[in-house]
Amino acid sequence: MKASNPKQIAWEKAVLKHTKKSNLIFLETGRSRNPDWKDSDGNSTDFFPNLNTFLKIYSIDNDSENCTNYTTSEEYCRNFLPSEALNKMVFLNGDSETIIKNTNFLDTLDIVLLDSANEEDIIFKEFIAVLPKTSKDCLIIVDDAIFPAKKALKVISLLNSLNIFYEIEPAYPCGCMYVFLNSQQKENILCYVLKDSLEPTIFS
């Protein structure tokens, strides 16, 4: 499946630039739920499972917003996605941080897309929670990272404080930020957080 909108093009660029292996394990927070949004939110749940390099897709959502004519976003996806994509899907429903912390993923995660609420605290908590669940080298994408969106603000602030390189890719309407992390960088981030170098309220 070819990228069909600016967000998908930005995601694909990040994946192709940093990830050469196949059989990738992917996790997304936030899920496709409305066909009318496909040109503004990228429809990640429709896009990533259709890439041949992806073996398994973990999809987390708390169904806090419009699910079109279906009761849940999972129900929508099960009616909308082709069977080949659904065979790769593992649907996890509920609070993203709690699910990430409490789920023993069968495989370590290679690529993560954080795209749930447009709240920097929530995305930051997801980012910290997911790091121990990732493979030796992992790509983490935060969608909607360009003003007026604010999802990536605290993640970017953390990376800046540790001099970890990241990239921001413009893509209508609010772009995305992505960072390719190795084991040492992930350890540095987690140690920094554990030392309470950031505002304690973030981790409440």
Where do the domains of the chain lie, and which CATH numbers do they carry? 6-203 (3.40.50.150)
- Global pTM value: 0.91
The pLDDT of residue 196 is 62
The conformational region for residue 44 under phi > 0 = left, psi -120 to 50 = alpha, else beta, is alpha
Question: What is the CA 141 to chain-centroid distance, rounded?
Answer: 6
169-188 CB burial, b ≥16 within 10 A, e <16: bebeebbbbbbbbeeebbee
Cβ contacts of residue 122 below 8 Å, gap of 6+? 96, 97, 116
Those residues whose C-beta lies under 8 Å from the C-beta of residue 189, and which sit 6 or more positions away, are 128, 131, 158, 162, 164, 181
Reference 13, options 202, 187, 162, 177; nearest CA is: 177
Question: What confidence score (pLDDT) does residue 43 get?
Answer: 83
pLDDT (tens place) for every residue of the chain, 204 residues total: 678 888 889 998 999 888 888 899 999 999 888 776 666 566 889 889 888 889 999 999 988 766 667 788 898 889 888 999 999 999 999 999 999 999 999 889 999 999 998 899 999 999 999 999 999 999 999 999 998 889 999 999 999 999 999 999 998 888 999 999 999 999 999 999 988 655 443 332
Q: Helices marked H in 81-152 — which ranges?
A: 83-86, 96-102, 120-130
**Which pLDDT belongs to residue 173?**
82
